[in-house]
Structure 1
Amino acid sequence: MVITNKSGRTAVRATALAFSAALLVAACSSGGGGGGKASQSTGAAKAGSGTKVTVTETEYALKLSRNSFTPGTYTFTADNAGTTTHALEVDGPGVSDVRTKNISSGQNTSVTVTLKKGTYKLYCPVDGHQQLGMKTDVKVG
């Protein structure tokens, strides 16, 4: 709404200004901005749509609920059974830097990927954890 003040100048009503500011904030915050997941444009699949695999994470090891994989879509659930923050990342043929968010002890989170024939690395991307043994290779096919 536009109103005219005593000097004859037009002014924008405060509610219209507040509405415009709210739209700007919403537009700026809807971009995602790195909430813990790396880009999933390569190799990622629809969340929860694949064969479920639990990856139990402890200091400093990964234990998978299965050890046989054929090509297809998998949902890896990282279950933090340790005492420090962990996450799970998957890299391999057609899958690059697909990861979960960081999770605290007792929490879990999932990532869904489509695996082709080949070897994939699953590991904890938290600083230094991979080097301490939180990694495993998965052969598909």
Structure 2
Amino acid sequence: MKLKNLILILLLGGLGYFGYTYLVTNFSSEAMVYKRFAGALLDGESSRVKQLVADQSVLEAFQARQQRENFLNGDVRFTWYSFKDKVVSEDGNTITLTVLQNARVDPPGQDTFYGAEVRTDRHVVTLKKFQSSWQISSFQDTPTMQYKAEKKSK
């Protein structure tokens, strides 16, 4: 076997591995539930996710709309997610995800197709399995923590 062919096989194998890992991580059922929740949160539409939450206290994140708008400081063009950590309970019925939500935004006064700036926020989400579906039992992000701190200080 020639060195050139070996390098090509290793390169294709590595790309296949990373592609498979990306697909499994970003399109698993628990990741899709999280992404639907995070998308509704950015849009401020809690009615889209009421069936996805295990506890109504999770919907408190939607009350932090003003803090979220201040954090983003502009119009969101598109978002993508980087899954950093996944912790599965021993029984497999609880998963905790640590995710970076990246949003490309246009600050006030700018109008670009791609978004002029990137805003990144860390989300920690706990999902529980009820029958055969995942539901969000807790959610933490920066705007929600700011909202809770402001509410507590009043």
| TM-score between the two structures when normalised by the length of structure 1 | 0.34
- Structure with a larger share of its residues in helix: 2
| TM-score between the two structures when normalised by the length of structure 2 | 0.32
